[in-house]
Amino acid sequence: IGASPGDRDRPLTESPFVDSAGVPWKGRSFEENPWAEDDGETPELIAAALGATPFVKMTFIESLRGQRLLVPLIAEIGQTGMGPHGQTVDKSADLAIVAVATPDDRTAIPAFTSVEDMLSWKPDARPVPVSISKLCVATVGEGHTRVIINPATHARALRRTELAALAQELEIIDAVSGPEVKRVIAHAVKEVEDVVMAGVSAGDPEARLVAEEIIIEVGMRPGLTAEGLETALTSFVAHLRAESLDDFVDSFKLKIISVI
């Protein structure tokens, strides 16, 4: 039996049953694509949360559980060369996931709820469907602390603590009303004599990264000197961090309020 032309041209060390890196094909299989029937539209639960008036941040975040988002692949020029008429031409290009700068001076992976939203951002981007949990794992793994959803249209952001919870499929702590947050703040108030009370309000309720996640309103004992005030606030923040507030809250700022 004669060998085929392809077999005659193939080096003896090259097998037709390995890939270009020499890894055997044997034992490999295609995984089922959970998004094979995806129509590229925004999932209903996410659409409802995005369109709600008023926007409710926790409802939106919970709507992402178990859903898919679209991550854009962008062509990046690899090697270039000289064309026949002296012009620079692309010899190769790679597809890559990009990061973007955020309003709070961090970096984020952009993701989209629909193909239409992605094309509004960058018409030549290629959509890759991915589960929210895998997206969050990949984002953190690449050293980013934010995901920006639909940056070209109704942009909303996921912060560090939310990424961690979604990546591990854990409960998401409400940074404003969560019992863990209240416990930490109450403990700090108890430990610092010159702090009379403290409350929490949302700093960025629209999830746009325009401010810290929460504002801690601190009531101080009347009559403190500037030095005494600074000392008390420094101690208060130290107690917050000692009780692991950073595990539940992405960022916060203090606001001093009057106490009668």
pLDDT above 90 for 29: no
- Whether 145 and 158 have beta carbons less than 8 Å apart is answered as no
Residues 6+ apart with CB under 8 A from 35: 68, 129
- Report pTM: 0.79
Cα 243 from chain centre: 25
CATH number of 179-257: 3.30.70.1350
Query: 171 in helix, strand or coil?
Result: coil
Q: What would the pLDDT profile of 81-115 be if each residue is shown by its tens digit?
A: 555 545 554 544 467 889 999 999 999 999 999 99
Residue corresponding to tokens 């702090």: 195
Residue bearing the bigger pLDDT, 250 or 93: 250
- Whether 43 and 68 have beta carbons less than 8 Å apart is answered as yes
pLDDT above 50 for 13: no
Rg of the chain in Å (alpha carbons)? 26
Q: Which two tokens stand for residue 181?
A: 């947050």
- Residue 1: the pLDDT is 44
Torsion-angle region of 143 (φ positive above 0: left; ψ -120 to 50: alpha; else: beta)? left
Q: What would the pLDDT profile of 119-171 be if each residue is shown by its tens digit?
A: 999 999 999 999 999 999 999 999 999 999 999 998 999 999 999 999 999 99
Average pLDDT, the chain: 87
Domain ranges of the chain: 44-76+92-168, 179-257
Read off the pLDDT of each residue in 233-251 and give the average, rounded to a whole number: 98
CATH architecture of 44-76+92-168: 3-Layer(aba) Sandwich (3.40)
